[in-house]
Amino acid sequence: MDIKEALTKLKEEKKRKFDQTVDLIINLKGIDLKRDQMNLVVTLPNKVKEKKVCGFLTQKSKLVKTITEPEFKKYGEKNALKKLVKEYDYFIAVGNLMPKVATNFGKVLGPVGKMPSPQLGVIMQESEQAIKETLDKISTSLKIRLKEASFKFVVGKESMDSEKVIENIKSVYKSIENALPKKKENVKNVMLKLSMSKPMRVEV
């Protein structure tokens, strides 16, 4: 089934009391998780949802929840650190604080893929303009890490225009296919679903 037909069918299903997400599932085959590393940042053509961002900065910013260096010690306790990591989708940091960010927060941020990176999140010059540009980039970005032979991404909302959702799906799929060692041969199948629906198999 093509994507447009699947989206139409999904949107005709029972309405829920909330705006369901459109989820893209890509199942892989012939992948060695130890050998075939993947660490991508994909920019979606269309924004899906607001992302919660926290910044490790030298001074407080009006644009983002800020943790300054003197406040790092507040998160020395494991539960406080875990709560912080759970609360935010992305973390940004000014470059000269990165060694201390790695020391204080790396053991929890690293494994969940939320460590600020040069690709997305490390600001070399701390200014409101640089912070704003980084936040704008994050708002349409997806971080992709290969941890198991299946990916699941939020690529839209039920209320979004179908064409915009399709653009997002194609953009994510193409980026992943291009990063796979054997490209399309490594894709077992592609599914589409809403938050509360069963997955439908689609051709991209």
Q: What is the pLDDT of residue 114?
A: 92
Task: Decide: helix, strand or coil at residue 58.
Answer: coil
Run means of pLDDT, 10 residues per run, the chain, 204 residues: 94 92 96 85 92 96 96 90 93 96 93 89 94 94 88 94 96 95 96 96 94
Q: What is the pLDDT of residue 113?
A: 86
| Whole-number Å distance between alpha carbons of 18 and 68 | 37
Q: What is the pLDDT of residue 53?
A: 97
Query: The domain 53-139 is classified under which CATH number: 3.40.50.1860, 3.40.50.790, 3.90.470.10, 3.40.50.150?
Result: 3.40.50.790
Contacts of 14 (CB under 8 A, 6+ apart): none
E strands, 8-125, are 21-28, 39-43, 53-56, 65-67, 90-94, 122-123
Query: The domain 3-43+145-202 is classified under which CATH number: 3.30.190.20, 3.30.460.80, 3.10.450.50, 3.90.740.10?
Result: 3.30.190.20
Q: What is the pLDDT of residue 67?
A: 97
The structural domains of the chain, with segments of one domain joined by +, span 3-43+145-202, 53-139
